[in-house]
Amino acid sequence: MSNNEVHYCNKCVLSDQVPGIHLNEDHLCNICRMDFVKVGKKKFSYMRRASEAFMKHVDLDDTVCHGLFMLSGGKDSIYALVELAQRYKTLNLKTYTLLHPYMSDAALNNINAVSAMHNYIQCFEKFPFDTYKDMFQKEFNNSNHYDFFDAHRLPCHICVCLSNISAYIYAYKMGIKYILVCTDPEQVGTAVTSGKECLDSFVSLTSREMADRLFGRRIIDELVAEDEKNLPCFITPYVSLLDYNRDKMILKIKDLGIYNSNTECLLSPLLYYYSISKYGVYNNINHLANEVRRGHLDRDSVLRFLKQYNELLSNVSIGDIPENTREQFLRVYIELFKVDTNDKELLFQLDNVLNISQVADCYGISDRLLSDETLGSR
246-297: pLDDT as tens digits: 888 889 999 999 997 767 788 888 888 888 888 989 988 998 998 899 898 8
Q: Kindly report, residue by residue over 63-75, the tens digit of the pLDDT.
A: 688 999 999 999 8
Least confident of 86-95, 96-105, 320-329: 320-329
In order of 24, 196, 198, 241, the CA distances from 48 in angstroms are: 32, 20, 19, 8
Judged against a pLDDT cut of 90, whether residue 213 lies above it is answered with yes
Look up the CATH number of the domain holding residue 115. 3.40.50.620
**Domain tally for the chain?**
2
Q: Compute the distance between CA of residue 37 and CA of residue 257 in angstroms, rounded to an integer.
A: 38
Give the domain range for residue 275: 268-375
At which of 255, 276, 304 does a domain end?
Answer: 255
Q: Higher confidence at residue 372 or residue 244?
A: 244
Do residue 182 and residue 331 come from a single domain? no
Residues 6+ apart with CB under 8 A from 46: 193
Q: What is the mean pLDDT of the chain?
A: 83
At which of 225, 255, 285 does a domain end?
Answer: 255
Do residue 240 and residue 340 come from a single domain? no
Do residue 200 and residue 317 come from a single domain? no
At which of 255, 286, 321 does a domain end?
Answer: 255
Do residue 242 and residue 283 come from a single domain? no
Q: Compute the distance between CA of residue 212 and CA of residue 247 in angstroms, rounded to an integer.
A: 42
In order of 46, 87, 132, the CA distances from 102 in angstroms are: 33, 33, 10
Q: Kindly report, residue by residue over 43-53, the tens digit of the pLDDT.
A: 777 777 888 88
- The reply to whether 21 falls in a domain is no
Do residue 272 and residue 183 come from a single domain? no
Do residue 149 and residue 209 come from a single domain? yes
pLDDT of residue 377: 32
Do residue 346 and residue 280 come from a single domain? yes
pLDDT of residue 38: 58
Q: Kindly report, residue by residue over 322-336, the tens digit of the pLDDT.
A: 667 777 777 877 777
- The reply to whether 364 falls in a domain is yes
